[in-house]
């Protein structure tokens, strides 16, 4: 028969005791790892310095990219303006060539209308006047403008003098006659006017302004 002491010995041999080798190793590792927040924080100044350097690097890269973006935008805007200017100049040059080629036609209409033949029916000249007027209106809408000549002071930038006349009734350098009409195209000279200009008499004397019967005002 088992006594009470034998039964207790069997229980101890069956039930393992707590705190075996594996559990003791885990407990030792847990004791070696300090709890969060325990002890002095190591590496904090170095980490802050690294974050500041990384921020400054990213900031510099962002500023450089933004600067490049602004430069590219400015280059694109300049390119757009240059292309538009070249396009306008090309169209203006093409229009100037076309209108310049039509000027002899206008001259022909003007000469025909000035030198009318009495044997030609009036309806013929009326039709010429209508065609001439329509053509001139179209060219004016394109920017063509006639130069004023007779009564104006001679301007070498606008007029071409092929004849001079010494007459006391005109002012010095006054245009007295127009041989061929001059034109501008959008404020640029297309063809100078061919004119006759008054010059002083051989004696080099001009009568007072009050004694000149055909005094003109070129400021109009």
Residues of the chain above pLDDT 70, percent: 71
The whole-number pLDDT of residue 215 equals: 40
**In angstroms, how far is CA 202 from the centroid of its own chain?**
55
Of residues 20 and 202, which shows the higher confidence score?
202
The whole-number pLDDT of residue 118 equals: 86
Q: How confident is the model at residue 8 (pLDDT cuts 50, 70, 90)?
A: low
Is residue 163 pLDDT above 50, yes or no?
Answer: yes
The whole-number pLDDT of residue 187 equals: 82
CA gap 114, 136 in Å, rounded = 16
CA gap 121, 25 in Å, rounded = 132
Q: Name the strand (E) or helix (H) holding 58.
A: helix 44-114
Q: Name the strand (E) or helix (H) holding 136.
A: helix 122-141
Is residue 11 pLDDT above 80, yes or no?
Answer: no
The whole-number pLDDT of residue 192 equals: 94
Is residue 103 pLDDT above 90, yes or no?
Answer: yes
The whole-number pLDDT of residue 38 equals: 45
Neighbours of 152 (CB within 10 A): 20
CA gap 16, 179 in Å, rounded = 135
Is residue 216 pLDDT above 50, yes or no?
Answer: no
The whole-number pLDDT of residue 39 equals: 45
Pair 174, 218: CB distance under 8 Å: yes
Is residue 145 pLDDT above 50, yes or no?
Answer: yes
Which domains can be identified in the chain, with CATH numbers?
A: 54-142 (3.90.20.20), 143-220 (2.30.22.10)
Residues of the chain above pLDDT 90, percent: 37
List, edge to edge, every strand of the sheet that includes 175-180: 159-166, 193-199, 175-180
What does the pLDDT average to over 145-152? 91
The whole-number pLDDT of residue 203 equals: 57
What does pLDDT average to over the chain?
78
């Amino acid at each position: 028969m088992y006594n009470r002491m034998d039964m207790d010995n069997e229980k101890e041999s069956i039930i393992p005791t707590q705190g075996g080798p594996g559990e003791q190793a885990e407990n030792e590792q847990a004791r070696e790892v300090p709890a969060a927040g325990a002890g002095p924080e190591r590496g904090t100044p170095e980490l802050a310095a690294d974050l500041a350097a990384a921020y400054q690097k990213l900031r510099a890269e962002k500023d450089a990219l933004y600067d490049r973006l602004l430069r590219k935008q400015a280059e694109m805007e300049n390119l757009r303006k240059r292309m538009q200017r070249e396009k306008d100049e090309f169209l203006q040059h093409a229009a100037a060539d076309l209108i310049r080629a039509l000027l002899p036609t206008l001259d022909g209409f003007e000469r025909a209308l000035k030198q009318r033949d009495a044997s030609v029916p009036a309806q013929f000249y009326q039709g010429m006047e209508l065609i001439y007027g329509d053509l001139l209106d179209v060219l004016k809408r394109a920017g063509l403008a006639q130069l004023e000549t007779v009564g104006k002071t001679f301007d070498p930038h606008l007029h071409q003098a092929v004849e001079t006349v010494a007459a006391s009734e005109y002012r010095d350098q006054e245009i007295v006659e127009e041989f061929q009409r001059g034109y501008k195209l959008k404020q640029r000279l297309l063809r100078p006017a061919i004119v006759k200009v008054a010059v002083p008499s051989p004696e080099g004397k001009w009568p007072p302004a009050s004694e000149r019967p055909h005094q003109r005002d070129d400021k109009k």
